Structure 1
Amino acid sequence: MKKLIRITLMSLIIVALAACSTDSKGDDDSDVVVVYTPHPSETVNLLVEEFQSTTGITAQIVAAGTGELLNRIAAESENPLADVMWGGGAESLASFNDYFQAYKPTGLDQVSSQFYDANNLWTGESPLPMVIMYNKNLVAEEDVPKSWADVLDPKFKGQIAMADPGSSGSAYTILVTMITAHGGDTDAGWQFATDFYKNLDGKIQSSSGNVYVGVADGEYAIGLTLEKEAIRYVQAGADVGIVYPEDGTSAVPDAVAIIKDAKNLTNAQKFVEFATSKATQELMVAELGRRPVRNDVEIDESLPPLESIKLVDYDFDWAANHKPEIVQRWQQIVIEN
């Protein structure tokens, strides 16, 4: 059945890509597009295969953490080596807006304005609620944390998986979300961040992928991660559960953007069209269980409606415009504790 669904979706993707404007400046004879992405291999393999088969364009993938890739884009700005940044929290991409160029994909009228840049420098792919994932074999039912505050319980010291906010876009979003839920950019908010770090007992993961894998494998009792990754383990029947913190979480989208002065601009535009098309969004829901950013695509029935999840008043501008200072302050907490 899934194969039939994918064949149908592929035909719709071809139609969507045909609508992409071809009057752009770029190498129209190019048959490649260079894509930087922090997406996990399951997402990359599925969608790159679809993109290549529907366009005939070869997507050359460079995979790494969001922070590393964005810094690389900045360092290469005089001679860009990539065409597209695909994935990573939107506020992380927004903090590097100077290195992207505007492109308005078709169908943007089906996307809420909170999920794309006002100047079309990036477009969201999927809202990403941040969750607490726990291993049912290591956490008794009565001990399951219900909030970010519960994660500070001493019984979880050294048993929490969390990636480095300086290199992981999702970890950065989680840090800002927790701070926001407990006072914002105030002494109280940063004290919460300090207390949280102390409960990590010095253990910080090198990548966001290590978080959900570590919890699923029983290396850690709980982990702070993205819904889209944790839910796959739940749907597969693993001994894990997820919690939407009752003190509020966030649902910042991951995003896709064209790098300024991209050498394969036409193909970069086709990639953005592909990533944001209705057909690709439906494919991500069907195959990956991800939330669509488009209003004309239904979510997977196993996910709670976004409206039912308590969200903090996430200050996107603060998170995007002050990322270096926020990361530096976090790093200072790490050094001092």
Structure 2
Amino acid sequence: MSHRRAATAGTAAALAALTLAACGNVEPPAGAAAGENGIVITYNSPTEWGNYGAVLDAFTERTGIEAPNDPKNSGQALAALQAEKGAPVADVAYTGIAFAGQLTDAGVLQDYVPEGAEQVPDDLRDPDGAWTAVHTGTIAFIVNEDHLDGAPVPQGWADLLDPAYEGKVGYLDPTQAAVGYSAATAVNLALGGDLDDWGPGLDYLGDLKDNGASTAAQTATAKVAQGEIPILIDTDFNGYRLRDEGADVSVVIPREGSLQIPYIVGLVEGAPNADNGRRLLDFYFSEEGQGLFAAGYMRPVVGEMPDEVADKVLPPQDYERARTVDYAEQGQRQQEFIGLYQDEVGF
């Protein structure tokens, strides 16, 4: 493969426009009538993502405010917010931190610091209050051992290129989903690249494609449980959730290294149910809200992971392999990466 180290501005802009156009037609959740009392509309809150279903159910139980889940990914949420800017549908948005700069640059969030969010570290919140990290996760392999056809559970990035795993690996589309972009960032860093040099990661993802890897736009954990994607590169918390639901899965932090991912929330500019949106954000950062995220193995940003949850996850030494990066720079480099990925790997 030949690798350019930077996409042209025109290519990046065109790809961004195509991505947004493709994502902008996602239907809003049922019951999302603007200004309707007793409801709060969230974007990118799939029921099967971590513990999001339980978080929103608990909020409704406490307040009587309906809070339907929404299946968008981070890129689709951004695209919908931009398309609806003149007449917003959503009240609260949730994305990976790599999208934070795009959300603020697009002017689709308004400043609001939820109660309790003052405790969040400064580097995990917008200085003006447009967004705040609500929990973190770590890029991991979620492995359904029953569908490996006798192959061992892979322990590192290099293992996934073995012909024994041909057609058995999947990850979310890194041009749309925050977890997909984070997975690409993780493998690039693990193999010697950095945010200025995507070469090692692009080479790897090209080789992974040649070994039959697949990509999906939406959360794909159900496909792991069914054996359709026996090895999913995703967040650790989704793997632990599947295990608790009875799937025979292992969670692996790759031996060469991984990446920690903060996820952010914010109040939508012009939100039709803004007061309900503020109440939901306050709930996210309350002791109960952070505890509910933690119960789904989503590491809270306020307080520690409860002992009863920490005892069920991989030991701390495994997580020492998960790096942090300059997340603002990661976000700034996203369109460059998208151009390179589409040119050199694209599915």
Which amino acid in the other structure matches residue 97 of structure 1?
Answer: T
Question: 8 Å contact 2:132–2:264 — kept in the other structure?
Answer: yes
How far does residue 106 in structure 1 lie from its aligned partner after superposition? 1.7
Q: CA RMSD in A?
A: 2.8
Structure 1: gaps (5+ residues) = 1-26
Range with greater deviation from structure 2 (293-302 or 217-226): 293-302
Residue deviations 1:84-129 (CA, integer Å, cap 9, x gap)? 103x212223332232122111222433334323332212222111
Cα distance in 1 for partners of 2:36, 2:78 equals 27
Residue deviations 1:154-210 (CA, integer Å, cap 9, x gap)? 4323221112112222111111121222212455x4243233233234643333422
Q: Which runs of 4+ in 1 moved over 6 A?
A: none
Residue deviations 1:286-328 (CA, integer Å, cap 9, x gap)? 3x34322212552512124667511224231222122222122
Question: 8 Å contact 1:131–1:245 — kept in the other structure?
Answer: yes
In the alignment, what sits opposite 1:197? 206
Cα distance in 2 for partners of 1:175, 1:233 equals 23
* Aligned partner (choices 104, 110, 117) of residue 97 of structure 1: 104
Cα distance in 2 for partners of 1:334, 1:262 equals 38
CA spacing shift, 1:297–1:327, aligned 2, 3 Å: same
How far does residue 269 in structure 1 lie from its aligned partner after superposition? 1.0
Structure 2: gaps (5+ residues) = 1-33
How far does residue 72 in structure 1 lie from its aligned partner after superposition? 0.9
In the alignment, what sits opposite 2:12? none
Cα distance in 2 for partners of 1:236, 1:279 equals 22
* Aligned partner (choices 304, 309, 312) of residue 302 of structure 1: 312
Range with greater deviation from structure 2 (316-325 or 38-47): 38-47
3-state SS of 1:198 partner:
helix
3-state SS of 2:260 partner:
coil
Aligned ranges for residues 163-312 of structure 1 at < 5 Å? Answer: 163-182=172-191, 183-185=193-195, 189-201=198-210, 203-210=213-220, 212-286=221-295, 288-295=296-303, 298=306, 300=309, 301-304=311-314, 309=319, 310-312=321-323
* Aligned partner (choices 125, 132, 139) of residue 141 of structure 2: 132
Give the total of aligned pairs.
306
Question: 8 Å contact 2:103–2:109 — kept in the other structure?
Answer: yes
Which amino acid in the other structure matches residue 293 of structure 1?
Answer: V
* Aligned partner (choices 321, 331, 336) of residue 320 of structure 1: 331
How far does residue 146 in structure 1 lie from its aligned partner after superposition? 2.1
How far does residue 216 in structure 1 lie from its aligned partner after superposition? 2.7
Cα distance in 1 for partners of 2:119, 2:315 equals 17
3-state SS of 1:262 partner:
coil
Q: Percent identity?
A: 25
Q: TM-score scaled by structure 2?
A: 0.78
3-state SS of 1:205 partner:
strand
In the alignment, what sits opposite 1:84? 92
Which amino acid in the other structure matches residue 53 of structure 2?
Answer: N
